[in-house]
Structure 1
Amino acid sequence: MEVINTFAAKRSFSQLLARAEQGEEITIARNGKPIATLGPLKSQVTPVRLGDLKGAFTVPDDFDSWSEQDEEDWFGQ
């Protein structure tokens, strides 16, 4: 892990971002003391695949029907 001072980090920020995208971690220091780490994000979201919820619920047969009760509930008539 490379340590870079704040002045150099400001001067070459876009290059540091490109290196972070490649998986490298860079420590940014002020007066020789580390203050931040720049690196790749770790994936926090598990992608959902089609079919993951198969069997988890069933759609009722009357799902898309509209009754008088629905009319009253929605529009108060």
Structure 2
Amino acid sequence: MQRVSIHAAKTNLSKLIEAALNGEEVVIARGSKPVVRLVPVIQGSFKIGLLKGQLGDGPDFFEPLDDSDLDLWEGGR
């Protein structure tokens, strides 16, 4: 575990980021009290269209409403 002061962290931020990315635990302290831990953000893979064809057909929002549905939207009963 690497423990550094806030001043040292500001001076060596790039090196500390690399250390965290390489799996090293980096703790930044204010005086002798640890205040934050520097950890890498896990990069997830995101795929557009992952469920394409598996959910079925949804409503077509561009089609006109039925008269009964339109009446409900316009406050009629």
The interval holding the TM-score normalised by the smaller chain is 0.5 to 0.7
Q: In the TM superposition, what whole-angstrom CA distance separates every residue of 1:10-48 from its partner, at most 9, and x where no partner exists?
A: x43xx52675277155211234443321121124x6624
Secondary structure class of the residue paired with 1:71: helix
Q: Distance in 1 between matches of 2:51 and 2:13?
A: 38
Given the superposition, is the C-alpha separation of residues 32 and 59 from structure 1 closer, same or farther in structure 2, using an over 3 Å criterion? Answer: closer
The corresponding residue for 1:49 is: 48
Give the RMSD, CA atoms, in angstroms.
3.3
Q: Percent identity?
A: 26
Q: Runs of at least 4 residues of structure 1 off by over 4 A?
A: none
User: How far did residue 51 of structure 1 move?
Assistant: 4.4
How many correspondences in the alignment? 72
**Counterpart code for 1:16:** L
**Counterpart code for 2:17:** A
- TM-score, normalisation: structure 2: 0.56
Structure 1 spans left out of the alignment, 5+ residues: none
The corresponding residue for 1:28 is: 28
Structure 2 spans left out of the alignment, 5+ residues: none
Residue 70, structure 1, aligned to residue 69, structure 2: yes
